[in-house]
Amino acid sequence: MASHPTLRNESPLTADEVLSRVSEAVLVVDRDWRIVYANAEAARINNKRPSEFIGKIHWEEWPGAIGTIFEREFRGAMSEQKPRHFRALYDYPPYHVWIEVRAYPSPDRLTLFYRDVTAEYEAEQELAATQAKLRDQVEQYRKLFEMLPVCLAVGYDAECTVIHPNPALARLLRLSPETNASASVPEAARFPFRWMRGDRVLSADELPQQICCRTGKPEMNVELELVFDDGERHYLFGHAVPLFDEAGAVRGSVGAYLDVTMQRKAEEILRRSEAVASAGRLAHAVAHEINNPLQAAVGLIYLMKSAPELPSDLKSNTAEALDQLARIGSLVRQTLGLFRDMNELFLEPAPISLEALVQEALEQYRKHADVKGVSLEAQLGSATSLLVPATLADALSNPVRNAVEACGRGHLVKIVADIAGDDLRITIEDNGAGIPSDIQAKVFEPLFTTKSGTGVGLGLWVTRRIVERYGGSVRLQSQTEPPPGTAIEIRLPLAAITMRI
């Protein structure tokens, strides 16, 4: 028979032995609030021996509990016979401690477990204060993110699949601020724009935030072009930096960009102005070389035309030659006038009827229009007899020439004039092919032309300068979709043009 080890007969632990070993203070009171038990921890906290508690009234030992949450919870537990668990400050000299209490009632007893949680409470308060401070900082950064006029983008992952734009960037991109602006997701194909550099569309991997996430290095002084489907173009300049987690791995990126479109336009205007100035110096030199032989040719042809024995057909041809030379002379004077003080162009302008001015502008290009099969028409209404400065001739002839050159057989070029309130309104209309929307903003710039080899890009610029000299304005409307056509509206204050006559 197998033998079994002899079991040792050990006496069981008493309740007092068990409670004396727990880390919490334990106190038991009867229905009269007389202390009937206190473990060693309860005595230690109160600098007493357990025997010194026995028989004492609880409220006399802890008078600071009277009238506080301690008394309410203890009496409530006894009367309702339901456990209570709470934390409260016991503030009675020499104590100022936070105590966590669990109270377990029985019909004739209330057993209290409690411990000093002052350190925990203070740590919680410090943590709460830190969290509140962090929330304030986050709110400040959020407001800064939303209110800054700089375009900001925050990438939330190392692949840049989620990029959040601030309101400034969202407005520029024509997106909602809640939209994921990342170009690294399929949904980006529906965006109304493309990222470009020069004439090349950039892939998502070539964008600065994607690059800095991939390399872990900042992308500084980056230039990008934002081109919309409708042709609008913006130039951006900025930086992108990676964000790292605690382990040093890339976790996202931040991009900051400035819209430098206006600066680019200003630089372009300056460049064109410098080109105009250079062209002016050249034109001034060339004009001196042309003017003398031109005047001599005019004089010779005039003598030929005046000869009595000249056949009638030659007289007609010489008259035509004089007209063409006069046109060349006008162009030379116009070119020279561009680069002199504009005040010189408006000294003592001769008055001319609007009807004569309009007919002169049409007749100047009638033969060209006839060859192309283009009709010319004028509708002057009540403005027919209005006297205007003769210097407005070039302001009309340039748009008429452009309209005739833009039209083909069967098209119509029409000048419509009327008095609109305090303004004289002149509109040069045509039903030609129209001007593409992406170049409409450039047609009044100097040296911009679409006529390869035949134009210098000064006509409409001259028109605008002349009109603005009188305090007027020039407006272009054009479309290439059916029905196509272009209209250039010139508005001139009546007071300004009549004062100079």
Architecture of domain 17-116: 2-Layer Sandwich (3.30)
pLDDT value, residue 287: 60
- Report, as an integer, the average pLDDT of 319-338: 62
- Same CATH topology for 148-259 and 265-338: the answer is no
3-state secondary structure (DSSP) of residue 404? helix
CATH of domain 265-338: 1.10.287
74 CB neighbour count, 10 Å cutoff: 21
Q: What type of residue is 464?
A: R
pLDDT value, residue 14: 54
Per DSSP bridges, beta strands 233-244 and 219-228 are antiparallel
User: How far apart, in whole angstroms, are the C-alpha atoms of residue 236 and residue 261?
Assistant: 7
pLDDT value, residue 142: 67
- Report, as an integer, the average pLDDT of 216-220: 94
- Residues 244-295 have pLDDT tens digits of 998 999 999 999 999 998 888 777 766 766 666 666 666 655 665 565 566 6
- Residues 394-405 have pLDDT tens digits of 788 888 988 898
- Report, as an integer, the average pLDDT of 351-364: 86
pTM of the model: 0.42
Q: Are 252 and 243 in contact (CB under 8 A)?
A: yes
Residue of higher predicted confidence among 134 and 372: 372
Percent of the chain with pLDDT over 70: 74
Q: Are 28 and 36 in contact (CB under 8 A)?
A: yes
Q: List the one residue out of 141, 352, 151 whose CA is nearest residue 238.
A: 151
Instruction: Check pLDDT > 60 for residue 177.
Output: yes
CATH of domain 346-499: 3.30.565.10
Residue of higher predicted confidence among 186 and 301: 186
Starting at the earlier edge strand, list the strands of the sheet with 473-479: 375-379, 412-420, 423-430, 485-493, 473-479
CATH of domain 148-259: 3.30.450.20
Mean pLDDT for all residues in the chain? 81
pLDDT value, residue 12: 55
Q: How confident is the model at residue 1 (pLDDT cuts 50, 70, 90)?
A: very low
Instruction: Check pLDDT > 60 for residue 483.
Output: yes
Which of 134-138, 407-411, 473-477 has the least mean pLDDT?
Answer: 134-138
User: How far apart, in whole angstroms, are the C-alpha atoms of residue 419 and residue 174?
Assistant: 41
Q: How confident is the model at residue 241 (pLDDT cuts 50, 70, 90)?
A: very high
Q: CB-based contacts of 56: which residues, under 8 Å, 6+ apart?
A: 34, 35
Domain boundaries, the chain: 17-116, 148-259, 265-338, 346-499
**In angstroms, what CA-CA distances link 110 with 74, 102, 176, 250, 299?**
8, 10, 63, 58, 132
